[in-house]
Structure 1
Amino acid sequence: MEYELTFWTVIMLVVSGLAAGFVNTLAGGGGLFTLSALMLMGIPADIANGTNRVSVAAQSIEGVRGFHRHNVLDKSAIRPILLPTLSGSLIGSVVASWMPVGLLKPLLLGSMIAMAMVLLLKPAVMAPTADELPKKLGESPGGWLALFGAGLYGGFVQGGVGFLLLFALVGVLRYNLLAGNALKLVCTGVFGAVALTVFAIRGQVLWIPGLIITAGTLVGVRLSVGFAVKANADTLRIVLLLAVIGACIAAFFR
Protein backbone atom coordinates (compact mmCIF):
# COMPACT_ATOMS: atom_id res chain seq x y z
CA MET A 1 0.00 0.00 0.00
CA GLU A 2 1.03 3.65 -0.40
CA TYR A 3 2.04 5.87 2.51
CA GLU A 4 4.14 9.00 2.75
CA LEU A 5 7.32 9.28 4.82
CA THR A 6 8.31 12.87 5.53
CA PHE A 7 10.66 14.41 8.08
CA TRP A 8 7.76 15.01 10.46
CA THR A 9 6.20 11.58 10.10
CA VAL A 10 9.59 10.00 10.79
CA ILE A 11 9.93 12.16 13.92
CA MET A 12 6.41 11.17 14.96
CA LEU A 13 7.22 7.47 14.54
CA VAL A 14 10.49 7.72 16.47
CA VAL A 15 8.93 9.68 19.36
CA SER A 16 5.96 7.33 19.57
CA GLY A 17 8.38 4.40 19.63
CA LEU A 18 10.44 5.99 22.41
CA ALA A 19 7.31 6.59 24.50
CA ALA A 20 6.03 3.08 23.83
CA GLY A 21 9.34 1.47 24.74
CA PHE A 22 9.53 3.35 28.04
CA VAL A 23 5.90 2.75 29.06
CA ASN A 24 5.73 -0.88 27.93
CA THR A 25 8.81 -1.83 29.92
CA LEU A 26 7.38 -0.43 33.16
CA ALA A 27 3.68 -1.12 32.68
CA GLY A 28 1.88 -1.42 29.33
CA GLY A 29 -0.28 0.47 26.88
CA GLY A 30 2.61 1.81 24.78
CA GLY A 31 1.08 0.28 21.69
CA LEU A 32 -1.58 2.97 21.84
CA PHE A 33 1.14 5.52 20.95
CA THR A 34 2.57 3.57 18.03
CA LEU A 35 -0.73 2.34 16.61
CA SER A 36 -2.08 5.90 16.68
CA ALA A 37 1.05 7.22 14.93
CA LEU A 38 0.79 4.61 12.18
CA MET A 39 -2.90 5.27 11.61
CA LEU A 40 -2.30 9.04 11.52
CA MET A 41 -0.17 8.32 8.44
CA GLY A 42 -3.26 6.84 6.79
CA ILE A 43 -2.26 3.23 7.34
CA PRO A 44 -5.34 0.98 7.83
CA ALA A 45 -5.87 -0.48 11.31
CA ASP A 46 -5.12 -4.08 10.30
CA ILE A 47 -1.82 -3.11 8.60
CA ALA A 48 -0.91 -0.82 11.51
CA ASN A 49 -1.62 -3.70 13.89
CA GLY A 50 0.76 -5.98 11.99
CA THR A 51 3.44 -3.31 11.50
CA ASN A 52 3.42 -2.51 15.21
CA ARG A 53 4.62 -6.05 15.98
CA VAL A 54 8.08 -5.27 14.58
CA SER A 55 8.85 -2.88 17.43
CA VAL A 56 7.05 -5.05 20.00
CA ALA A 57 9.33 -8.00 19.34
CA ALA A 58 12.46 -5.81 19.38
CA GLN A 59 11.58 -3.89 22.55
CA SER A 60 10.77 -7.10 24.40
CA ILE A 61 14.11 -8.67 23.52
CA GLU A 62 16.01 -5.54 24.54
CA GLY A 63 14.04 -5.25 27.78
CA VAL A 64 14.70 -8.88 28.72
CA ARG A 65 18.40 -8.39 28.03
CA GLY A 66 18.41 -5.29 30.23
CA PHE A 67 16.66 -6.94 33.16
CA HIS A 68 18.87 -10.01 32.81
CA ARG A 69 21.98 -7.83 33.09
CA HIS A 70 20.59 -6.49 36.37
CA ASN A 71 19.85 -10.02 37.70
CA VAL A 72 16.10 -9.39 37.84
CA LEU A 73 14.89 -12.06 35.41
CA ASP A 74 13.67 -15.36 36.95
CA LYS A 75 14.88 -17.72 34.22
CA SER A 76 13.37 -20.80 35.89
CA ALA A 77 9.86 -19.39 35.35
CA ILE A 78 10.25 -18.73 31.63
CA ARG A 79 9.36 -22.14 30.23
CA PRO A 80 6.20 -22.68 32.35
CA ILE A 81 4.68 -19.27 31.57
CA LEU A 82 5.34 -19.52 27.84
CA LEU A 83 2.98 -22.47 27.23
CA PRO A 84 -0.28 -20.64 28.03
CA THR A 85 0.81 -17.28 26.59
CA LEU A 86 2.16 -18.79 23.38
CA SER A 87 -0.96 -20.94 22.90
CA GLY A 88 -3.23 -17.95 23.37
CA SER A 89 -1.09 -15.73 21.14
CA LEU A 90 -1.15 -18.14 18.22
CA ILE A 91 -4.94 -18.38 18.32
CA GLY A 92 -5.34 -14.63 18.79
CA SER A 93 -3.00 -13.65 15.96
CA VAL A 94 -4.69 -15.99 13.48
CA VAL A 95 -8.11 -14.60 14.41
CA ALA A 96 -6.78 -11.02 14.27
CA SER A 97 -5.52 -11.41 10.72
CA TRP A 98 -9.09 -12.05 9.60
CA MET A 99 -11.23 -9.96 11.95
CA PRO A 100 -11.56 -6.21 12.71
CA VAL A 101 -9.32 -4.99 15.53
CA GLY A 102 -12.14 -2.89 17.01
CA LEU A 103 -13.97 -5.97 18.28
CA LEU A 104 -11.69 -6.16 21.31
CA LYS A 105 -11.86 -2.49 22.31
CA PRO A 106 -14.57 -3.06 24.96
CA LEU A 107 -12.53 -5.93 26.42
CA LEU A 108 -9.38 -3.83 26.59
CA LEU A 109 -11.14 -0.83 28.10
CA GLY A 110 -12.99 -2.96 30.63
CA SER A 111 -9.82 -4.79 31.67
CA MET A 112 -7.86 -1.56 32.17
CA ILE A 113 -10.66 0.09 34.14
CA ALA A 114 -10.82 -2.99 36.37
CA MET A 115 -7.05 -2.84 36.96
CA ALA A 116 -7.20 0.88 37.75
CA MET A 117 -9.92 0.22 40.34
CA VAL A 118 -7.87 -2.58 41.87
CA LEU A 119 -4.79 -0.35 42.12
CA LEU A 120 -6.85 2.41 43.73
CA LEU A 121 -9.11 0.41 46.05
CA LYS A 122 -7.09 -2.74 46.80
CA PRO A 123 -3.43 -1.95 46.12
CA ALA A 124 -2.29 -5.03 48.08
CA VAL A 125 -3.52 -7.20 45.20
CA MET A 126 -0.72 -5.78 43.04
CA ALA A 127 1.79 -5.48 45.89
CA PRO A 128 3.16 -8.85 47.06
CA THR A 129 4.99 -8.64 50.39
CA ALA A 130 8.76 -8.96 50.50
CA ASP A 131 8.59 -12.46 52.04
CA GLU A 132 5.84 -13.73 49.70
CA LEU A 133 7.06 -16.42 47.31
CA PRO A 134 5.69 -16.53 43.75
CA LYS A 135 3.28 -19.36 43.01
CA LYS A 136 4.27 -22.14 40.67
CA LEU A 137 2.16 -22.11 37.54
CA GLY A 138 1.32 -25.82 37.85
CA GLU A 139 -0.31 -25.09 41.21
CA SER A 140 -2.30 -22.09 40.00
CA PRO A 141 -5.06 -22.79 37.45
CA GLY A 142 -6.07 -19.14 37.76
CA GLY A 143 -2.57 -18.05 36.78
CA TRP A 144 -2.61 -20.39 33.75
CA LEU A 145 -5.96 -19.06 32.56
CA ALA A 146 -4.91 -15.44 33.13
CA LEU A 147 -1.74 -15.93 31.07
CA PHE A 148 -3.66 -17.73 28.31
CA GLY A 149 -6.17 -14.88 28.19
CA ALA A 150 -3.37 -12.32 28.04
CA GLY A 151 -1.73 -14.25 25.20
CA LEU A 152 -5.03 -14.49 23.35
CA TYR A 153 -5.54 -10.74 23.60
CA GLY A 154 -1.88 -9.99 22.83
CA GLY A 155 -1.97 -12.10 19.71
CA PHE A 156 -5.08 -10.25 18.59
CA VAL A 157 -4.20 -6.59 19.12
CA GLN A 158 -1.16 -6.13 21.46
CA GLY A 159 -2.01 -2.62 22.72
CA GLY A 160 -2.53 -2.77 26.50
CA VAL A 161 -1.55 -6.44 26.84
CA GLY A 162 1.17 -5.54 29.36
CA PHE A 163 -1.54 -4.70 31.89
CA LEU A 164 -3.14 -8.13 31.50
CA LEU A 165 0.21 -9.87 31.81
CA LEU A 166 1.10 -7.90 34.94
CA PHE A 167 -2.24 -8.81 36.48
CA ALA A 168 -1.49 -12.50 35.82
CA LEU A 169 2.15 -12.37 36.96
CA VAL A 170 1.85 -9.96 39.91
CA GLY A 171 -1.81 -10.11 40.93
CA VAL A 172 -2.30 -13.88 40.53
CA LEU A 173 1.16 -15.50 40.62
CA ARG A 174 2.52 -12.93 43.14
CA TYR A 175 5.79 -11.84 41.54
CA ASN A 176 6.94 -8.38 42.59
CA LEU A 177 6.51 -5.65 39.98
CA LEU A 178 10.14 -5.63 38.91
CA ALA A 179 10.33 -9.39 38.36
CA GLY A 180 6.83 -9.34 36.86
CA ASN A 181 7.86 -6.74 34.30
CA ALA A 182 10.89 -8.82 33.30
CA LEU A 183 8.77 -11.94 32.76
CA LYS A 184 6.09 -9.86 31.03
CA LEU A 185 8.64 -8.86 28.40
CA VAL A 186 9.57 -12.50 27.83
CA CYS A 187 5.91 -13.19 27.08
CA THR A 188 5.42 -10.19 24.81
CA GLY A 189 8.64 -11.02 22.98
CA VAL A 190 7.63 -14.59 22.22
CA PHE A 191 4.03 -14.08 21.26
CA GLY A 192 4.96 -10.82 19.56
CA ALA A 193 7.29 -12.82 17.30
CA VAL A 194 4.55 -15.37 16.63
CA ALA A 195 2.07 -12.63 15.74
CA LEU A 196 4.64 -10.85 13.55
CA THR A 197 5.20 -14.05 11.61
CA VAL A 198 1.47 -14.52 11.02
CA PHE A 199 0.96 -10.91 9.93
CA ALA A 200 4.04 -11.00 7.68
CA ILE A 201 2.80 -14.15 5.93
CA ARG A 202 -0.52 -12.39 5.38
CA GLY A 203 1.29 -9.36 3.89
CA GLN A 204 0.12 -7.06 6.68
CA VAL A 205 3.49 -5.62 7.77
CA LEU A 206 5.11 -2.41 6.47
CA TRP A 207 8.75 -2.92 7.38
CA ILE A 208 10.13 0.59 6.94
CA PRO A 209 7.70 2.34 9.34
CA GLY A 210 8.04 -0.63 11.69
CA LEU A 211 11.83 -0.34 11.80
CA ILE A 212 11.69 3.45 12.29
CA ILE A 213 9.44 2.96 15.32
CA THR A 214 11.81 0.26 16.55
CA ALA A 215 14.73 2.70 16.60
CA GLY A 216 12.86 4.94 19.04
CA THR A 217 11.57 1.99 21.00
CA LEU A 218 15.04 0.62 21.79
CA VAL A 219 16.09 3.96 23.28
CA GLY A 220 12.92 4.05 25.39
CA VAL A 221 13.51 0.53 26.67
CA ARG A 222 17.06 1.26 27.81
CA LEU A 223 15.95 4.37 29.65
CA SER A 224 13.07 2.50 31.24
CA VAL A 225 15.12 -0.46 32.49
CA GLY A 226 17.60 1.92 34.10
CA PHE A 227 14.74 3.70 35.85
CA ALA A 228 12.97 0.49 36.92
CA VAL A 229 15.93 -1.14 38.67
CA LYS A 230 16.56 2.01 40.73
CA ALA A 231 12.93 2.81 41.63
CA ASN A 232 11.20 1.40 44.71
CA ALA A 233 8.02 -0.69 44.59
CA ASP A 234 5.74 2.23 45.50
CA THR A 235 7.12 4.31 42.64
CA LEU A 236 6.58 1.46 40.18
CA ARG A 237 2.98 1.06 41.35
CA ILE A 238 2.35 4.78 40.87
CA VAL A 239 3.81 4.58 37.34
CA LEU A 240 1.61 1.55 36.63
CA LEU A 241 -1.51 3.33 37.90
CA LEU A 242 -0.79 6.45 35.82
CA ALA A 243 -0.14 4.30 32.75
CA VAL A 244 -3.41 2.41 33.25
CA ILE A 245 -5.42 5.62 33.68
CA GLY A 246 -3.74 7.21 30.65
CA ALA A 247 -4.37 4.14 28.53
CA CYS A 248 -8.03 4.04 29.64
CA ILE A 249 -8.51 7.64 28.53
CA ALA A 250 -6.71 7.06 25.23
CA ALA A 251 -8.66 3.86 24.47
CA PHE A 252 -11.98 5.49 25.33
CA PHE A 253 -11.49 8.41 22.91
CA ARG A 254 -9.72 6.42 20.22
Structure 2
Amino acid sequence: MDYSVFTISLLIGTGFIAGIINTLAGGGSNLTLPALMVMGMPADIANATNRVGVFLQNVAATMGFRKAKKLDNADILPVMVPSLLGGVVGAFAASYAPEVWLKPLLLSAMIGMTLLMIIRPALVAPPEGTVPFKVSQKPSAWVALFVAGVYGGFVQAGVGFILIAALAGTLRYDLVRTNALKMVCTLGFTALALGVFIWNDQILWLPGLILASGTMLGSHLAVKFALKANPNHLKWFLFVMTVCGSAAALLSD
Protein backbone atom coordinates (compact mmCIF):
# COMPACT_ATOMS: atom_id res chain seq x y z
CA MET A 1 0.00 0.00 0.00
CA ASP A 2 1.05 3.57 -0.75
CA TYR A 3 0.94 5.67 2.44
CA SER A 4 2.40 8.85 1.02
CA VAL A 5 1.32 12.32 2.12
CA PHE A 6 -0.70 12.53 -1.11
CA THR A 7 -2.68 9.33 -0.57
CA ILE A 8 -3.35 10.07 3.12
CA SER A 9 -4.54 13.58 2.23
CA LEU A 10 -6.64 12.11 -0.57
CA LEU A 11 -8.35 9.68 1.81
CA ILE A 12 -9.06 12.33 4.44
CA GLY A 13 -10.24 14.89 1.88
CA THR A 14 -12.49 12.54 -0.07
CA GLY A 15 -13.73 11.10 3.22
CA PHE A 16 -14.70 14.56 4.43
CA ILE A 17 -16.65 15.34 1.25
CA ALA A 18 -18.21 11.88 1.21
CA GLY A 19 -19.33 12.27 4.83
CA ILE A 20 -21.24 15.41 3.87
CA ILE A 21 -22.72 13.86 0.74
CA ASN A 22 -23.74 10.61 2.43
CA THR A 23 -25.42 12.39 5.33
CA LEU A 24 -27.46 14.78 3.17
CA ALA A 25 -28.06 12.57 0.14
CA GLY A 26 -26.01 9.56 -0.96
CA GLY A 27 -23.29 8.46 -3.33
CA GLY A 28 -20.26 9.57 -1.35
CA SER A 29 -18.64 6.19 -1.91
CA ASN A 30 -18.29 7.20 -5.57
CA LEU A 31 -15.41 9.31 -4.23
CA THR A 32 -13.98 7.08 -1.53
CA LEU A 33 -13.90 3.81 -3.48
CA PRO A 34 -11.68 5.26 -6.25
CA ALA A 35 -9.51 6.92 -3.58
CA LEU A 36 -8.93 3.55 -1.92
CA MET A 37 -8.16 1.93 -5.28
CA VAL A 38 -5.58 4.65 -5.98
CA MET A 39 -3.65 3.06 -3.10
CA GLY A 40 -3.52 -0.20 -5.04
CA MET A 41 -6.51 -2.05 -3.62
CA PRO A 42 -8.57 -4.37 -5.81
CA ALA A 43 -12.28 -3.49 -6.03
CA ASP A 44 -13.46 -6.10 -3.51
CA ILE A 45 -10.93 -5.04 -0.84
CA ALA A 46 -11.71 -1.36 -1.44
CA ASN A 47 -15.43 -2.13 -1.15
CA ALA A 48 -14.84 -3.85 2.20
CA THR A 49 -12.37 -1.27 3.57
CA ASN A 50 -14.70 1.58 2.61
CA ARG A 51 -17.24 0.27 5.15
CA VAL A 52 -14.98 1.33 8.03
CA GLY A 53 -15.39 4.98 7.08
CA VAL A 54 -19.09 4.54 6.36
CA PHE A 55 -19.72 2.84 9.71
CA LEU A 56 -18.02 5.52 11.80
CA GLN A 57 -19.59 8.27 9.70
CA ASN A 58 -23.01 6.82 10.49
CA VAL A 59 -22.23 6.66 14.19
CA ALA A 60 -21.37 10.38 14.16
CA ALA A 61 -24.48 11.32 12.16
CA THR A 62 -26.83 9.19 14.24
CA MET A 63 -25.56 10.77 17.45
CA GLY A 64 -26.00 14.25 15.94
CA PHE A 65 -29.58 13.67 14.77
CA ARG A 66 -30.51 12.02 18.07
CA LYS A 67 -29.11 14.93 20.06
CA ALA A 68 -31.24 17.29 17.95
CA LYS A 69 -34.34 15.13 18.63
CA LYS A 70 -34.84 14.31 14.95
CA LEU A 71 -34.62 10.57 15.53
CA ASP A 72 -37.65 9.02 17.26
CA ASN A 73 -37.03 5.71 19.00
CA ALA A 74 -40.44 4.37 17.93
CA ASP A 75 -39.48 4.74 14.26
CA ILE A 76 -36.14 2.97 14.43
CA LEU A 77 -36.96 -0.72 14.89
CA PRO A 78 -39.69 -1.01 12.20
CA VAL A 79 -37.37 0.42 9.51
CA MET A 80 -34.29 -1.39 10.79
CA VAL A 81 -35.66 -4.94 10.62
CA PRO A 82 -36.19 -5.19 6.83
CA SER A 83 -33.02 -3.27 6.03
CA LEU A 84 -30.94 -5.49 8.32
CA LEU A 85 -32.36 -8.66 6.81
CA GLY A 86 -31.53 -7.32 3.38
CA GLY A 87 -28.09 -6.28 4.58
CA VAL A 88 -27.20 -9.84 5.56
CA VAL A 89 -28.16 -11.10 2.11
CA GLY A 90 -26.25 -8.31 0.38
CA ALA A 91 -23.10 -8.65 2.48
CA PHE A 92 -22.75 -12.36 1.72
CA ALA A 93 -23.44 -11.66 -1.94
CA ALA A 94 -20.69 -9.01 -1.97
CA SER A 95 -18.16 -11.48 -0.57
CA TYR A 96 -18.83 -14.15 -3.17
CA ALA A 97 -20.36 -12.47 -6.23
CA PRO A 98 -18.23 -11.43 -9.27
CA GLU A 99 -16.83 -7.89 -9.13
CA VAL A 100 -18.38 -7.12 -12.53
CA TRP A 101 -21.79 -6.95 -10.83
CA LEU A 102 -20.89 -3.83 -8.87
CA LYS A 103 -21.02 -1.21 -11.62
CA PRO A 104 -24.40 -2.25 -13.16
CA LEU A 105 -26.03 -2.16 -9.73
CA LEU A 106 -24.57 1.24 -8.92
CA LEU A 107 -25.48 2.65 -12.32
CA SER A 108 -29.07 1.41 -12.07
CA ALA A 109 -29.51 2.97 -8.63
CA MET A 110 -28.08 6.33 -9.65
CA ILE A 111 -30.04 6.70 -12.90
CA GLY A 112 -33.26 5.45 -11.32
CA MET A 113 -33.06 8.02 -8.52
CA THR A 114 -32.22 10.82 -10.95
CA LEU A 115 -35.25 10.02 -13.11
CA LEU A 116 -37.44 9.85 -10.01
CA MET A 117 -36.26 13.30 -8.89
CA ILE A 118 -36.99 14.73 -12.35
CA ILE A 119 -40.36 13.06 -12.94
CA ARG A 120 -41.81 13.10 -9.42
CA PRO A 121 -39.69 15.32 -7.14
CA ALA A 122 -42.42 15.57 -4.50
CA LEU A 123 -42.21 11.82 -4.01
CA VAL A 124 -38.85 12.09 -2.26
CA ALA A 125 -39.41 15.54 -0.75
CA PRO A 126 -42.85 15.52 0.96
CA PRO A 127 -44.42 18.92 1.71
CA GLU A 128 -43.76 20.31 5.17
CA GLY A 129 -46.27 19.01 7.72
CA THR A 130 -46.90 15.68 5.96
CA VAL A 131 -47.71 12.99 8.53
CA PRO A 132 -45.55 9.92 7.86
CA PHE A 133 -46.98 6.41 7.59
CA LYS A 134 -45.94 3.50 9.78
CA VAL A 135 -44.18 0.58 8.12
CA SER A 136 -47.13 -1.62 9.15
CA GLN A 137 -49.42 0.63 7.08
CA LYS A 138 -47.29 0.35 3.94
CA PRO A 139 -46.18 -3.18 3.00
CA SER A 140 -44.41 -1.68 -0.01
CA ALA A 141 -42.13 0.20 2.41
CA TRP A 142 -41.01 -3.11 3.97
CA VAL A 143 -40.08 -4.42 0.53
CA ALA A 144 -38.30 -1.17 -0.40
CA LEU A 145 -36.29 -1.19 2.84
CA PHE A 146 -35.33 -4.84 2.35
CA VAL A 147 -34.13 -4.10 -1.19
CA ALA A 148 -32.17 -1.11 0.13
CA GLY A 149 -30.54 -3.39 2.69
CA VAL A 150 -29.58 -5.95 0.06
CA TYR A 151 -28.06 -3.25 -2.11
CA GLY A 152 -26.32 -1.57 0.83
CA GLY A 153 -24.86 -4.84 2.03
CA PHE A 154 -23.63 -5.60 -1.48
CA VAL A 155 -22.15 -2.23 -2.47
CA GLN A 156 -22.31 0.89 -0.29
CA ALA A 157 -22.17 3.45 -3.12
CA GLY A 158 -25.57 4.99 -3.78
CA VAL A 159 -27.52 3.19 -1.06
CA GLY A 160 -28.55 6.52 0.47
CA PHE A 161 -30.67 7.28 -2.59
CA ILE A 162 -32.54 3.99 -2.29
CA LEU A 163 -33.18 4.54 1.41
CA ILE A 164 -34.43 8.07 0.74
CA ALA A 165 -36.83 6.70 -1.86
CA ALA A 166 -38.09 4.15 0.67
CA LEU A 167 -38.34 6.48 3.68
CA ALA A 168 -39.53 9.67 2.00
CA GLY A 169 -41.21 8.10 -1.01
CA THR A 170 -43.23 5.35 0.66
CA LEU A 171 -43.39 6.45 4.30
CA ARG A 172 -43.46 10.23 3.61
CA TYR A 173 -40.92 11.40 6.19
CA ASP A 174 -39.52 14.91 5.67
CA LEU A 175 -35.93 15.04 4.41
CA VAL A 176 -34.33 15.76 7.79
CA ARG A 177 -36.00 12.79 9.52
CA THR A 178 -35.49 10.73 6.38
CA ASN A 179 -31.75 11.40 6.55
CA ALA A 180 -31.70 10.59 10.27
CA LEU A 181 -33.43 7.22 9.75
CA LYS A 182 -31.33 6.60 6.65
CA MET A 183 -28.15 6.88 8.71
CA VAL A 184 -29.50 4.48 11.34
CA CYS A 185 -30.43 1.91 8.68
CA THR A 186 -27.06 2.29 7.02
CA LEU A 187 -25.33 1.94 10.37
CA GLY A 188 -27.15 -1.34 10.98
CA PHE A 189 -26.45 -3.11 7.72
CA THR A 190 -22.95 -1.65 7.48
CA ALA A 191 -22.19 -3.27 10.85
CA LEU A 192 -23.44 -6.59 9.47
CA ALA A 193 -21.42 -6.14 6.28
CA LEU A 194 -18.32 -5.31 8.31
CA GLY A 195 -18.75 -8.54 10.24
CA VAL A 196 -18.85 -10.55 7.03
CA PHE A 197 -15.85 -8.72 5.55
CA ILE A 198 -13.87 -9.15 8.79
CA TRP A 199 -14.68 -12.86 8.75
CA ASN A 200 -13.35 -13.08 5.19
CA ASP A 201 -10.29 -10.95 6.06
CA GLN A 202 -11.05 -8.38 3.36
CA ILE A 203 -10.51 -5.14 5.33
CA LEU A 204 -7.33 -3.08 5.45
CA TRP A 205 -7.74 -1.25 8.74
CA LEU A 206 -5.18 1.55 8.54
CA PRO A 207 -6.50 3.16 5.32
CA GLY A 208 -10.04 2.46 6.54
CA LEU A 209 -9.47 4.42 9.75
CA ILE A 210 -7.67 7.25 7.92
CA LEU A 211 -10.68 7.50 5.63
CA ALA A 212 -13.01 7.44 8.65
CA SER A 213 -11.35 10.48 10.20
CA GLY A 214 -12.58 12.47 7.20
CA THR A 215 -16.04 10.90 6.92
CA MET A 216 -16.83 11.50 10.60
CA LEU A 217 -15.93 15.19 10.41
CA GLY A 218 -17.92 15.66 7.21
CA SER A 219 -20.93 13.88 8.66
CA HIS A 220 -20.81 15.95 11.85
CA LEU A 221 -20.87 19.21 9.90
CA ALA A 222 -23.57 17.92 7.53
CA VAL A 223 -25.95 17.20 10.42
CA LYS A 224 -25.55 20.76 11.66
CA PHE A 225 -26.32 22.06 8.16
CA ALA A 226 -29.36 19.78 7.73
CA LEU A 227 -30.90 21.02 10.96
CA LYS A 228 -30.69 24.67 9.86
CA ALA A 229 -31.18 24.42 6.09
CA ASN A 230 -34.29 25.34 4.14
CA PRO A 231 -36.08 22.10 3.02
CA ASN A 232 -35.92 23.32 -0.60
CA HIS A 233 -32.14 23.65 -0.35
CA LEU A 234 -31.92 20.05 0.88
CA LYS A 235 -34.12 18.91 -2.01
CA TRP A 236 -31.93 20.64 -4.59
CA PHE A 237 -28.77 19.30 -2.98
CA LEU A 238 -30.26 15.82 -3.23
CA PHE A 239 -31.10 16.36 -6.90
CA VAL A 240 -27.62 17.63 -7.76
CA MET A 241 -26.09 14.63 -5.99
CA THR A 242 -28.25 12.19 -7.95
CA VAL A 243 -27.13 13.78 -11.21
CA CYS A 244 -23.49 13.75 -10.14
CA GLY A 245 -23.79 10.16 -8.95
CA SER A 246 -25.27 9.09 -12.27
CA ALA A 247 -22.52 10.85 -14.20
CA ALA A 248 -19.82 9.28 -12.01
CA ALA A 249 -21.29 5.81 -12.50
CA LEU A 250 -21.54 6.30 -16.27
CA LEU A 251 -17.99 7.62 -16.65
CA SER A 252 -16.23 5.21 -14.29
CA ASP A 253 -14.20 2.40 -15.81
Q: Does the alignment reach a TM-score above 0.5? A: yes
Distance (whole Å) between structure 1 residues aligned to residue 153 and residue 127 of structure 2: 32
Q: Name which of 72, 77, 94 aligns with 2:92.
A: 94
Deviations 1:115-140 (A, max 9, x none): 21221222111221233211110121
Counterpart residue type for residue 63 of structure 1 = A
Distance (whole Å) between structure 2 residues aligned to residue 110 and residue 37 of structure 1: 22
Distance (whole Å) between structure 2 residues aligned to residue 179 and residue 101 of structure 1: 34
Normalised to the residue count of structure 1, the TM-score between the two structures is 0.97
Greater Cα shift, 78-87 or 118-127:
118-127
Counterpart residue type for residue 179 of structure 2 = N
Shift of 1:101: 3.4
User: Secondary structure of the equivalent of 2:57?
Assistant: helix
Match of residue 43 from structure 1: 41
Match of residue 156 from structure 1: 154
Match of residue 217 from structure 1: 215
Shift of 1:243: 0.7
Is it true that 1:189 corresponds to 2:184 in the alignment? no
Distance (whole Å) between structure 2 residues aligned to residue 192 and residue 114 of structure 1: 23
Match of residue 232 from structure 2: 234
Is it true that 1:133 corresponds to 2:131 in the alignment? yes
Counterpart residue type for residue 26 of structure 1 = L
Match of residue 252 from structure 1: 250
User: Secondary structure of the equivalent of 1:51?
Assistant: helix
Counterpart residue type for residue 35 of structure 2 = A
Match of residue 169 from structure 1: 167
Is it true that 1:80 corresponds to 2:78 in the alignment? yes
Distance (whole Å) between structure 2 residues aligned to residue 47 and residue 185 of structure 1: 23
- Contact 2:109–2:158 (8 Å) recurs in 1: no
Normalised to the residue count of structure 2, the TM-score between the two structures is 0.97
Cα RMSD of the aligned pairs, angstroms, is 1.0
Distance (whole Å) between structure 1 residues aligned to residue 27 and residue 121 of structure 2: 20
Match of residue 147 from structure 1: 145
Counterpart residue type for residue 135 of structure 2 = L
Match of residue 65 from structure 2: 67
Distance (whole Å) between structure 1 residues aligned to residue 41 and residue 242 of structure 2: 26
Is it true that 1:10 corresponds to 2:8 in the alignment? yes
- Contact 1:26–1:224 (8 Å) recurs in 2: yes
- Contact 2:90–2:152 (8 Å) recurs in 1: yes
Change (3 A) 1:238 1:69: same
- Structure 1's unaligned 5+ residue stretches are none
- Contact 2:110–2:249 (8 Å) recurs in 1: no
Distance (whole Å) between structure 2 residues aligned to residue 74 and residue 104 of structure 1: 34
Identity of matched residues, %: 47
Deviations 1:79-108 (A, max 9, x none): 111110000000110111111233142232
Deviations 1:21-75 (A, max 9, x none): 0100000000111101001111000100110110111010110101111111122
Distance (whole Å) between structure 1 residues aligned to residue 130 and residue 81 of structure 2: 24
Counterpart residue type for residue 40 of structure 2 = G
Match of residue 19 from structure 2: 21
Match of residue 117 from structure 2: 119
- Contact 1:46–1:100 (8 Å) recurs in 2: no
Distance (whole Å) between structure 1 residues aligned to residue 139 and residue 156 of structure 2: 23
User: Secondary structure of the equivalent of 1:97?
Assistant: helix
